[in-house]
Structure 1
């Protein structure tokens, strides 16, 4: 699922139209439509500030939206800088091993 698809899905779950959600996020409904359809002219994804506002308005997981937008949330970025070796090893695991590790936590 892409960032735009997830925003659209969350918007519909919350019962918002584009015109209703746009002021909550502080953008125009046409910009929000471009976000949902992944047709932004000047970049792949909106700013972190807009993602936070969307997450708040949509009662969504901010970190999920950040990751879908290819942005690393601050909490993960901090930990990554502290332990790059651990994240490197996690990235090398296959899905089955990673699932087992997560289940054991």
Structure 2
């Protein structure tokens, strides 16, 4: 049930950020945002570890800053996979991925606080 709420919160974050970040467009706001949230979650589960493994030397040389590039690549891939979610370029994907990470960590902190109180 917690994962379902996390996907809905991610969809909310996608809707909010798409209205602020230039170069990110969403058609059919709510349904497309939920699909984008699911696709980003799946890409983070399956593709991101492979990208991190294959780019480990670049990640180590840049002291982890290359992970921002990997996050932007995930957003670009989601833009290619989901109809109605358009990413105009790498810079838009980079800004969107950074803001999405910040937004998600803030929203998900409410779930972690709940676990500590139990």
Same structural fold, with TM-score higher than 0.5 when normalized by the shorter chain? no
- Larger Cα Rg: Structure 1 or Structure 2? 1
The TM-score normalised by the length of structure 1 is 0.28
Q: Which has the higher helix share?
A: 2
Structure with larger RCO (C-alpha < 8 A, sep 6+): 2
Q: Which has the higher strand share?
A: 2
The TM-score normalised by the length of structure 2 is 0.26
